[in-house]
Amino acid sequence: MIYREASESLKRLAKGFPVLTITGPRQSGKTTLAKHHFKDLPYVSLENPDQRDFASDDPVGFLAQYPDGVILDEAQHCPNLFSYLQDVVDQRGASGRFVLTGSGQFTLLEKVTQTLAGRVGMIHLLPFSNDELHLAEPNPTALNDRLFCGMYPPVHDRNLLPDDWYPDYINTYVERDVRQLINVRDLNTFRRFVRMCAARSGQVLNMSDLASDAGVSHNTIKAWLSILEASYLVFFVHPHFQNFSKRLIKSPKLYFYDTGLLCSLLGIRSADQLSIHSNRGALFESWVAAEIKKYFFNRHEASDLYFWRDHKGVEVDFIIEGTKGLVPIEVKSGATINRGFLKNIEYWMSLAGSKADHPTLIYGGDRSYMRSSIQVLAWTDVTDLFTSK
């Protein structure tokens, strides 16, 4: 098993909570992580129709089978079970004995927060981080290969070709499971919507334009985006509203969590295509944003990630609220640094003054160094930006 950085957080939470919940997209490694850390617990998949029917029809009898705890995989299929689980853990009081996994954040988290508040420790597990893969793979990977292959475990664990695995993942998870959550009747429209979102990854979201292009209402777009977010396919980075006496943009930016999935949705069929592809910069920015989110999630920390853009279009890609101030981050996919890469971050620093801390440029090259007061990080060293956060 490839070491998961969330392991330490999971072990820490298991000491204090009677219930642990591991959520994330399908195929992100939730079941593998749970089985690895709780080898003494029996495992039950609630995707199994017999087990699901038993848990739904007789929750008391079902839970009575597991006096010492159990791993319940895809627990969102039996939401009514949680109320009975609350009674069980209140009676027993042991920590880390019931482990729930689920890919349906929308249903799972709603029921968990309603019935198990104060009793559950929660881990959000995304696909592999770059640091996790770096430890597992003996040979260095080129940036284009990393972007094209994405970070989902099956592509790396099973040596599957991205062009074989991602289309099937889109068909089974995105176009079947996800759309069923909101009962989408027109699959072609929903499929077109998801691909339109892919083309907008890394951009400020204009829902009116997206609704017009997709041919559906503004409210429908809001509902569909909520489902994609709850399914761990996309996330939003909101603007930072620090007042620097400038009018700022108010709409969030849209990102996909995985660039392998993005490449498949964009019709990119090889890593070589990325060298000249118009979306390469946006893909790299999405990859960096996802790596930052993984860093926070794996450590069970709040992911306070923002961006900054004024009304003239001057933008700093990301802002992190660090312990010493605001950390501005610029992202450039080029392998060679030029002066223009730094102008926006320097402009922002002139406005932020003493509030600015540890300015960083992450680029597509292979050497990290200091340039004046700005830390320049190779893409392979992306999480080094947290060493002085």
pLDDT of residue 94: 74
256 by DSSP, 3-state: which?
A: strand
Q: Note down pLDDT in tens along the chain; length 389 residues.
A: 889 999 999 999 999 899 999 999 999 999 999 999 999 999 999 999 999 999 999 999 999 999 999 999 988 888 888 888 888 888 877 777 899 998 765 566 666 666 677 788 999 999 999 999 988 776 668 999 999 999 999 999 887 899 999 999 998 877 677 766 677 777 788 889 999 999 999 999 999 999 999 999 999 999 899 888 988 999 999 999 876 656 677 899 999 999 999 999 999 999 999 999 999 999 999 999 999 999 999 999 987 899 999 888 899 999 999 888 899 999 999 999 988 899 999 999 999 888 889 999 999 999 999 988 899 999 999 999 887 54
Angle between the N-to-C axes of helices 187-199 and 207-214, in degrees from 0 to 180, rounded to the nearest 10: 140
- Burial class (CB within 10 angstroms; exposed 0-12, middle 13-18, buried 19+) of 61: exposed
Edge-to-edge strands, sheet with 369-371: 203-204, 253-256, 234-239, 305-309, 315-321, 326-332, 360-363, 374-378, 369-371
CB 293 within 8 A of CB 305: yes
CA pair distance 362, 289, nearest whole angstrom: 11
* CATH number corresponding to 7-124: 3.40.50.300
CB 116 within 8 A of CB 83: no
Q: CB-based contacts of 161: which residues, under 8 Å, 6+ apart?
A: none
CA angle 222–224–228, rounded 5-degree value: 115
CA pair distance 260, 189, nearest whole angstrom: 22
Task: Quote the tokens at residue 331.
Answer: 């992202």
Amino acid in the structure at residue 389? K
Task: Quote the tokens at residue 199.
Answer: 């083309």
pTM: 0.93
- DSSP of 213-233, one letter per residue? HHTS-HHHHHHHHHHHHHTTS
pLDDT of residue 138: 63
Task: Quote the tokens at residue 383.
Answer: 């999480």
Residue 176: which of 105, 104, 112 has the closest Cα?
104
Q: Domain residue spans in the chain?
A: 7-124, 130-235+258-275
Rounded to whole angstroms, the maximal C-alpha distance in the chain is: 68
Beta-bridged to residue 236, according to DSSP, are 254
